[in-house]
A and B are shown apart, each in its own frame.
Chain A
Amino acid sequence: MQMSSIVRTTADILFPFILIYGFYIVIHGHLTPGGGFQGGAVLASGVLLLLFAYRYNESTRIVKKTVMKTIESGGLLLFIITALSAMLLGAGFFFNWAASGGMIFGDLVAFGSTAANLNTGGLIPIMNLAVGIEVVGAISVILLALLSGIKEKI
């Protein structure tokens, strides 16, 4: 079944804005409500919009199952490597060595109620990013597996 051109044009226009909003939720995970899981779910609903607006054969040319599996595994790998990187420095598993270190996400958190600084948190934003990548891959794999089981392809 082919969706109407109104649906497809709306999906095309909305898709980048949904992606930007999901990425905003992921990257501000340590400052505002939201985080890796919620942002990843919003990103996956953007992918879902593409899957519904186009035919199965057309959309699987953009969203491939093997690519999504690779993305999911990459997110998990990034998470566990970030957690293990503290052990290379002699600290415990999950130790936040990058907080207040002056490097990426390494600013010192100002005392008192000041404006929020995105460049803080150490390993926490990196782990949020890893969880977001993992969730968007996993939910896309679930939806693709559901869609591929239907006889009459939509």
Chain B
Amino acid sequence: MIEMILHTILLLGMIGAAILVFTFKDLVSAAIAFGAFSFILALEFYLLQAPDVAIAEAAIGAGLSTAAFMIAIRGTSRKERDEA
């Protein structure tokens, strides 16, 4: 029962973080929201008893790819332009 509640909370949090990534116009905020999404995904992997994948997801998804997005945003522009 408690496991079902935890799964529900984590999946709803993942959906919320994904919607935030989609709606943010500030790209730094979107990259941080993507890091939060990766972290919740790592917790979900751990709950599904795949700790190996969880460590890889936490290190690559939440750490390194967020940093790569940050560097890319620094090299281009920070705001997303509306295409008419």
B6 CB to nearest A CB, Å: 20
Please tell me if B5 contacts chain A, counting CB pairs below 8 Å.
no
Please tell me if A41 contacts chain B, counting CB pairs below 8 Å.
yes
| Partner pick for B55 among A25, A48, A146, CB 8 A cutoff | A25
Q: Which of A125-154 contact B (CB under 8 A)?
A: 139, 142-143, 146-147, 149-152, 154
* C-alpha spacing A151/B70, complex, angstroms: 15
Q: Are B59 and A45 in contact (CB under 8 A)?
A: yes
Q: Which of A25-48 contact B (CB under 8 A)?
A: 25, 33-35, 37-38, 41-42, 44-45, 48
Report B46-84 CB contacts with A as 1/0, cut-off 8 Å. Answer: 000001101110011001100110111011000000000
Q: Give the size of the chain B interface in residues (CB under 8 angstroms).
A: 16
Contacts A34-B52, A38-B52 given; does A44 touch B72 at CB 8 Å:
no
Q: Are A146 and B68 in contact (CB under 8 A)?
A: yes
Please tell me if A95 contacts chain B, counting CB pairs below 8 Å.
no
Interface SS of chain A: helix
Q: Are B63 and A150 in contact (CB under 8 A)?
A: no
Interface size class for chain A?
A: 20 to 34
Most buried by B among A45, A143, A152: A45
A139 CB to nearest B CB, Å: 6
* C-alpha spacing A34/B63, complex, angstroms: 16
Q: Which residues of A contact B (CB under 8 A)?
A: 25, 33-35, 37-38, 41-42, 44-45, 48, 52, 139, 142-143, 146-147, 149-152, 154
Q: Which residues of B contact A (CB under 8 A)?
A: 51-52, 54-56, 59-60, 63-64, 67-68, 70-72, 74-75
Contacts A143-B71, A146-B72 given; does A41 touch B52 at CB 8 Å:
no
CB-CB < 8 A to A52: which residues of B?
67, 70
Given A38-B59, A41-B56, A150-B75, output 15 extra A-B contacts at Cβ < 8 Å: A37-B56, A38-B52, A41-B59, A41-B60, A41-B63, A41-B64, A42-B55, A44-B59, A45-B67, A48-B67, A52-B67, A52-B70, A143-B64, A143-B68, A151-B75
Closest to B68 in A: A146
Q: Are B71 and A146 in contact (CB under 8 A)?
A: yes
